[in-house]
Structures are given as C-alpha cells and as structure tokens.
Amino acid sequence: MNGKLLKQVRIIAGFSQTELAEKIGCTQALIAYMESGRTKVQPLTEQRILQAISDKGIRQEELFLISSVLKASKSNITAAIK
C-alpha cells in the first residue's frame, strides 16, 4: 500500500488521520508521513490499517479497485500531458 492509496481509503472509510492513528496504535504524524510518501507503510502497519478499514465494512477487493482506478487516472494524466 502506498501513501496515495492509504489517503484515499482512509477518506473513503471516514477516518481522520487522528482517528485512524488511534485505531491502529500509532501517531497522527506517522499517518501524515506515510500518506505523503516520506515514510513507507510497513507490513504490520498495513495489516492494522486493513483491519481498521475492514471494521468499517470496506472489503479488501474494494481496495484493489480503488488502487486500479488511481493507477488508471495517473496513466491518463501522464498520457494527456505528453
């Protein structure tokens, strides 16, 4: 999971950075750093995030769909610029 996907799923799940941080046991600053790409999302943190998102009723399959849409959007923007 990269920072852009983390931010999108956090927003879709209805979490603020602070709420997600409390739910997974880290700081709001760490969430901000991961979303900005300054810090990589570690495997254990990703597991905790996925569990928190799942607790909100969002399935992992939906996350893959969101990821695909983000990648397609980036490709379309890159192609439009060229």
Report the pLDDT value the prediction gives residue 82, as an integer from 0 to 100.
54
Residue 7: count of CB within 10 angstroms of its CB: 17
For the chain, domain boundaries:
3-81
Determine the pLDDT at residue 5: 87
DSSP state of 26: S
| CA–CA separation, 35 and 14 (whole Å) | 15
Could you please state the CATH topology (level 3) that the domain comprising 3-81 is classified under. 434 Repressor (Amino-terminal Domain) (1.10.260)
Would you state the structure tokens that stand for residue 79, as one six-digit string? 């192609």
35: which residues sit within 8 A by CB, 6+ positions away? 3, 4, 6, 7, 10, 17
The one-digit pLDDT tens for each residue of the chain (82 residues) are 899 889 988 998 999 999 999 999 999 999 999 999 999 999 999 999 999 999 988 887 777 777 777 777 655 555 555 5
pLDDT of residue 73: 64
